[in-house]
């Protein structure tokens, strides 16, 4: 096991394109999107995250996406695999698959179906068992609370941060105070990533390493440049980029979810396509909202 993976930067939780006729994952378009994103200063790609509709992907599809992604992601960029499942056994199996396909780390949301039984002790046991078994570093994932999930306590994260193979957390609650508490109470070197595209600048100010941002599917350059400008001490530029990026997160990512992100990708010349059922495509009446938001941001619909 190795904990020496730097998460400093912005990672893109990649949307997953599906064939409009068969419904199968479209590996060629997935790889084409990744190539386009990697033209920008991003830290890496998350395969099988929430924006990637991971809950709808079977084990073979996850493996295929990881295999396809690794062929176009160079070794100096990260490939992180979402491997969370409801049982510890399944989570370990997905994690071993991911390591075999070349993942640099895994991003693991908590099991939540039996939510009332997910006590701190149950979660502690789950993550320590996984971290002991994983050949690659583990990143905890605090899923947005509007989803079906459980919420980590700061104390539990601090305890888990002491495990040498648990290297960080993605916190998508959008609560800057809670994120700051994680940074304060976890061990030195534990890397905290923000999940909200409106909060990257403020999160960096309080000590975050970076972010895994759904909005970076749409504006990888802005997101990567914001992080780089902040690290270079160019706070005016970083702040200006945050102001430009925030409406895209609010209106499209948070406001419309996966269907909105995928429709926006299509408008920007990448491949989004329709979500996998039961998620429905973005409603016709909402599509002008995406187009208008992109135009106000100065983004071309024919990138």
**Nearest residue to 251 via CA among 227, 219, 286:** 286
DSSP state of 275: P
> How far is residue 246's CA from residue 239's CA, in Å, rounded to a whole number?
11
Q: Which residues of 149-173 are buried (b: 16+ CB within 10 A; e: fewer)?
A: bbebeeebbbbbbebebbbbbbbbb
Q: Do 111 and 84 touch, CB atoms closer than 8 A?
A: yes
Active-site residues, by number, are 170
> How far is residue 31's CA from residue 302's CA, in Å, rounded to a whole number?
19
Q: Do 191 and 166 touch, CB atoms closer than 8 A?
A: no
CA dihedral sign, ordered 23, 27, 32, 37 = positive
Matching residue, tokens 């790889």: 31
199 alpha carbon, distance to own chain's centre? 14
Matching residue, tokens 């016709």: 284
> How far is residue 65's CA from residue 186's CA, in Å, rounded to a whole number?
33
């Amino acid at each position: 096991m190795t904990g020496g993976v730097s998460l400093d930067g912005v990672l893109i939780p990649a949307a997953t394109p599906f064939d409009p006729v068969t419904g199968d994952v479209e590996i060629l378009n997935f790889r084409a999107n990744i190539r386009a994103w990697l033209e920008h200063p991003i830290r890496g790609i998350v395969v099988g995250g929430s924006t990637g509709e991971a809950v709808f992907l079977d084990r073979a599809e996850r493996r295929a996406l990881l295999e396809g992604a690794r062929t176009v992601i160079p070794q100096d960029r990260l490939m992180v695999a979402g491997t969370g499942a409801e049982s510890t056994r399944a989570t370990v199996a997905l994690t071993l698959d991911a390591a075999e396909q070349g993942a640099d780390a895994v991003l693991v949301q908590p099991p939540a179906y039996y939510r009332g039984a997910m006590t701190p002790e149950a979660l502690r046991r789950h993550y320590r068992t996984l971290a002991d078994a994983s050949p690659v570093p583990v990143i905890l994932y605090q899923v947005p609370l509007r989803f079906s999930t459980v919420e980590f306590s700061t104390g539990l994260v601090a305890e888990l941060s002491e495990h040498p193979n648990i290297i960080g957390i993605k916190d998508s609650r959008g609560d800057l105070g809670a994120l700051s508490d994680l940074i304060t109470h976890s061990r030195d070197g534990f890397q905290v990533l923000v999940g909200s595209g409106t909060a990257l600048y403020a999160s960096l100010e309080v000590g975050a390493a970076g972010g895994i941002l759904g909005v970076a599917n749409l504006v990888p350059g802005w997101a990567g440049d914001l992080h780089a400008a902040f690290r270079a001490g160019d706070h005016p530029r970083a702040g200006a980029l945050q102001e430009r990026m925030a409406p895209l997160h609010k209106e499209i990512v948070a406001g419309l979810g996966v269907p909105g992100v995928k429709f926006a990708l299509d408008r920007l010349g990448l491949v989004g396509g329709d979500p996998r059922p039961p998620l429905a495509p973005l409603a016709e009446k909402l599509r002008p909202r995406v187009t208008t938001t992109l135009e106000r941001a100065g983004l071309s619909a024919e990138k």
